[in-house]
Structure 1
Amino acid sequence: MTITHNNRWLWLVALFLIGWLIYQLSPILSPFLVGILLAYLGDPLVDRLERWKLSRTWGVILVFTLFTLLCLLLLLVLVPMLGKQLMHLYELAPLGLDWLQLTALPWVQAQFGLDEDFWRVDQLKSAFSANLGSTKDVVAIILSQATASSIALLAWLANLLLVPVVCFYLLRDWDLIMAKLRTLLPRRREDAVMSLMRECHEVIGAFLRGQLLVMLALAVVYSAGLMLVGVELGLLIGVLAGLASIVPYMGFVVGIGAAVIAVLFQFGLELYPLLGVAAVFTVGQMMEGMLLTPLLVGDRIGLHPVAVIFAVLAGGQLFGFTGVLLALPVAAVIMVLLRHVHDLYKLSDLYAEPPADPPRQP
């Protein structure tokens, strides 16, 4: 009994030390975590290429080439388009303030009996408009700040260049690393631990690979649909709605709200653009519920939307960007462990029915 008690304390101390190390090393962990994430996502593709009689190294090179082409396409096509739409949104902001000042806020004042000077939107508008002409100086300001702190710039560039290096070597040796880690498992507990790890792998893999593909597909559907309707900010709204789809129904709420506001500013109260926006998001929701989620994700995740939100916020609060990267995989593993703890609790004496009273003798 003493040995078991001491072992438990050793495990608790080891977990505490691991958490402390992650917290202390969080400023430099981001490129390694991104590399691990990319290697984890790319390993099935390399394994499939290996089954097609391609060597591991050439499979990694092929996957890397594909990923590099996608990144270049993103940088050369999508990023400039999003940048233009962000600038257009920045220029439309004074019109939104006009609508607030002249229409929405006076209605609220009349309903609640507020003073006329309760809202000071005119000051906000004048300050915003005064800075509107300085948007061309943003690049110069960024460059001046970057050159002023050259060490920080070099560190950022080093971390950026470190990601593909870490990803390449991890992806090439992924199977060997997993095999060596398996040899370190206790022999008597190997089957149980491997079963638990396979379940964690299913949950994490289904979420990371499946949900990312769902987000990408929804972003394409929403962006293409809104641009066909004629919404000027369609690409920006579609991408934001796709990113927000990491939480079920959040993308629909964020996207349709932003799209309706954009349509009202652009077209006024015209009926057909509003119907077009409703049709786009209805089709997107139908595709997500009936096709994308069942096909790409399945029902193996089991992460509640509130748990997803809490995990991301908690990870960011505790460990910054590193915590955001770790949040969902750690939450998935905790969910699997809690599921097994729940099963053990149901089998324990603590949960068992109380013993029946013996029948009284007459």
Structure 2
Amino acid sequence: MTLQRRITFWMIALAGTILFLWVFSPILLPFVAGMALAYLLDPVADRLESIGMNRLWATITILILFLLIFVLVLVLLLPVLGNQLASLIAALPDYVSQLQTLIVDNFGDKLRRISGFGSSDVKSSLGNLMTQGAGWLANLLKSIWSGGQALMSIVALFVVTPVVAFYLLLDWDRMTAKVDSWLPREHRDLVHKLVHEIDVAVAGFVRGQVSVCLILGTFYAVGLAVLGLKFGLLIGIGAGLISFIPYIGATTGFILSLGVALVQFWPEWHMIVAVLAVFGTGQFLEGNILQPKLVGERVGLHPVWLMFALFAFGYLFGFVGMLVAVPVSAAIGVLARFALAQYLTSPLYYGTNAPHAPAERESDG
């Protein structure tokens, strides 16, 4: 009955959390963003404290510097990116038409031999496919643009988020100590162990992946802009920022860049190859240098599990869901591994007639 009551309690707590997120998701964005900001900046505050600065001034210094950098980037980049996004949306139908003509004129014979269709059939099928794809992409870009405008017009995001981050960052150590004092003494060490594993997973991914996204976004944007690719700054930064979803950022940026490069540079193959080389180099850097060094393998989040969590939480709770998807999925992963370890040492796994099976297994090993 004790185990049953514990399971019932945690199931009720989980249901209550999901209900809370679902009901209040429209107003949670500034608070979740403030909590995420405080979590990301807490190690910096601890470092400043270690060199003699008190917590209050450390918090004020960090937030002022962060807000200055954020506003500076916003003022410099937002107008440029907004103009490029609006231009890309307007030019997308013309780009699709030119790309369709280019493919049919240069590769039509090969497509006819492969498919067995006539020239008009190939052009019609290809046109329908590209039109549907372009329509989906245009709707996506419009939703991002309108959503971004709506997001930027919400004063609460810029007022409430820094206030929430300030108070949480200021009281972070006191809050964690208070929560620690509420833990049952019998299970305190176990809870500490699980919370530490969750923190390692979340911190290792979030802080590392933020760095990876910023580095990749800068690399892609600079590389494409140097090559003179139209909308290169927008495509590069966008591809870098959505690189937290495995393979999605690079694939999206690659497809957009390839389409724009074909229309803009054809038949200059060396320029098209150079555009592809930017993404090839970025993927090499991400897979062999950035991910191992900044994120590492200790995170324990499988790419498939991460993608499912991001899409599922985004579908259920919108943008707020995407913000909490990584920490929640990391916590679920840690708890699932703990539950599996408990099961593998329990009588349920070995059977009621083998009470000493774990010891025998260790002795056999």
Q: Same fold (TM over 0.5)?
A: yes
Q: TM-score, with normalisation over the residues of structure 2?
A: 0.81
Q: CA deviation at 1:283?
A: 2.1
- The answer as to 2:283 corresponding to 1:285 is yes
Contact residue 32 and residue 320 of structure 2 kept, 8 A: yes
Q: CA deviation at 1:354?
A: 10
Which residue number in structure 2 is paired with residue 273 of structure 1? Answer: 271
Q: Secondary structure at the match of 1:351?
A: helix
Q: State how far apart, in whole Å, the 2-side matches of 1:16 and 1:333 are.
A: 16
Deviations along 1:189-247, one digit per CA (max 9) or x if unpaired, are 00000010000000000111000110110011111111122212211111121123113
Q: CA deviation at 1:281?
A: 1.9
Q: Taking every aligned residue pair, what percent have the same amino acid on both sides? A: 39
Q: State how far apart, in whole Å, the 2-side matches of 1:346 and 1:296 are.
A: 33
Structure 1 or 2, whichever has the larger Rg, is: 1
Q: CA deviation at 1:344?
A: 1.9
Go from structure 1 to structure 2 and tell me whether the alpha carbon gap of 1:19 and 1:274 turns closer, same or farther (over 3 Å shift). Answer: same
Q: CA deviation at 1:256?
A: 2.0
Give the RMSD, CA atoms, in angstroms: 3.2
Q: Equivalent residues in 2 for 1:287-326 (5 A)?
A: 287-326=285-324
Contact residue 208 and residue 294 of structure 2 kept, 8 A: yes
Which residue number in structure 2 is paired with residue 57 of structure 1? Answer: 56
Aligned mate of 1:225, from 205, 223, 226: 223
Aligned mate of 2:200, from 199, 202, 216: 202
Which residue number in structure 1 is paired with residue 42 of structure 2? Answer: 43
**Number of equivalent positions:** 333
Q: State how far apart, in whole Å, the 2-side matches of 1:349 and 1:281 are.
A: 52
Q: Equivalent residues in 2 for 1:9-158 (5 A)?
A: 9-99=8-98, 102-104=101-103, 107=108, 111-112=116-117, 114=121, 156-158=154-156
Q: CA deviation at 1:117?
A: 7.3
Worse-matched range after superposition: 78-87 or 162-171: 78-87
Deviations along 1:224-274, one digit per CA (max 9) or x if unpaired, are 111122212211111121123113333332222221111111111212212
Q: State how far apart, in whole Å, the 2-side matches of 1:74 and 1:153 are.
A: 14
Q: State how far apart, in whole Å, the 1-side matches of 2:287 and 2:79 are.
A: 32
Q: State how far apart, in whole Å, the 2-side matches of 1:12 and 1:94 are.
A: 50
Which residue number in structure 2 is paired with residue 161 of structure 1? Answer: 159
Q: State how far apart, in whole Å, the 2-side matches of 1:253 and 1:116 are.
A: 25
Which residue number in structure 1 is paired with residue 258 of structure 2? Answer: 260
Q: State how far apart, in whole Å, the 2-side matches of 1:104 and 1:289 are.
A: 32
Q: TM-score, with normalisation over the residues of structure 1?
A: 0.82
Q: State how far apart, in whole Å, the 2-side matches of 1:118 and 1:247 are.
A: 31
Which residue number in structure 2 is paired with residue 359 of structure 1? Answer: none
Q: State how far apart, in whole Å, the 1-side matches of 2:12 and 2:352 are.
A: 37
Q: Secondary structure at the match of 2:344?
A: helix
Q: State how far apart, in whole Å, the 2-side matches of 1:44 and 1:53 are.
A: 15
Q: State how far apart, in whole Å, the 1-side matches of 2:336 and 2:164 are.
A: 32
Structure 2: unaligned runs, 5 residues or longer: 136-141, 355-365
Which residue number in structure 2 is paired with residue 149 of structure 1? Answer: none
